[in-house]
Amino acid sequence: FELRCQGEDAPDRLLELCRSHGLDTVALANELLAFVVRHNLSPQLSAEQLDTFEHEILTRRSTRPPRGPRDRSSRPGTLHDIRSLQLLLNEDEEEEELLDAYTTPSKVSQKRGNSTPETPRPKRSLSSRSPYALFSPNSFSPSVTPSQKYASRGGRGEVVTSFGSVPPDGADRGGDRGGCVPKLFGPPDAALTQGYKFMYQTAWDIREGDVIAQGGVMAAAGVGPA
């Protein structure tokens, strides 16, 4: 077929292809001849044609996995002896140990957490909750249905003490030995010592009291409405 090189760069390019892809002259000539005949090219080989030949033929050939001899033990229906079976078992054990080293350990049977029938929701760790759900009112509020244990228990307790008149310091507390007596904290005027019908009732009473007191002062001074 008389393949010839066109230009001064073509022979150097052929030598480079032989060295980079590990081919001898006969193998490279056969590949080039097949490439020229397949693509119906001119036998005058240029540097551009050699680049195309390397990209389409040699590069794909080097990326293919080598076809090695097929293992006879992998064929179905092959008879194994004791030695081959032991080798297969050892290989399986090594693969399992390697997989266990790179995977999470198997889950141990976990005990079921104690929960009432009304609240069967499983307890979740704080790390699994989002920061918005962690500080939401729902996370701090108890369930609507009270616990069955609390509702059916006996001896619910008794009132230990109640708020009343605050005894002065050093006064005899009677039989309240060992008990507890509530004590006001702060000035008595600012403390809530009784029940109220609505919010800000104390502020309203203070306002009414100031108006009444101011009217009394004005009446005593002889100042009246014009």
Alpha carbon distances (Å) from 70 to 67, 74, 81, 84, 226: 8, 8, 19, 16, 122
For residue 135, which phi and psi values (nearest 5 degrees)?
-110, 25
The residues spanned by each domain of the chain are 4-63
Report the percent of the chain where pLDDT is more than 70. 41
How confident is the model at residue 1, as a pLDDT? 52
How confident is the model at residue 72, as a pLDDT? 47
Answer whether residue 109 shows pLDDT above 50. no
Total-model pTM: 0.27
Tens-place pLDDT, residues 121-172: 555 544 444 555 555 555 555 555 666 666 666 666 666 677 665 555 544 5
Answer whether residue 187 shows pLDDT above 70. yes
As a whole number of angstroms, the distance between CA 16 and CA 51 comes to 11
How confident is the model at residue 110, as a pLDDT? 47
Lowest mean pLDDT among 22-26, 34-38, 57-61, 138-142: 138-142
Lowest mean pLDDT among 62-76, 136-150, 186-200: 62-76
How confident is the model at residue 127, as a pLDDT? 46
| Overall average pLDDT of the 102-131 stretch | 53
Report the percent of the chain where pLDDT is more than 90. 0
Answer whether residue 181 shows pLDDT above 70. yes
User: What's the whole-number average pLDDT of the chain?
Assistant: 67
Name 45's bridge partners: 5
Alpha carbon distances (Å) from 8 to 23, 83, 130: 21, 62, 71
Q: What is the DSSP letter of 54?
A: I
How confident is the model at residue 178, as a pLDDT? 58
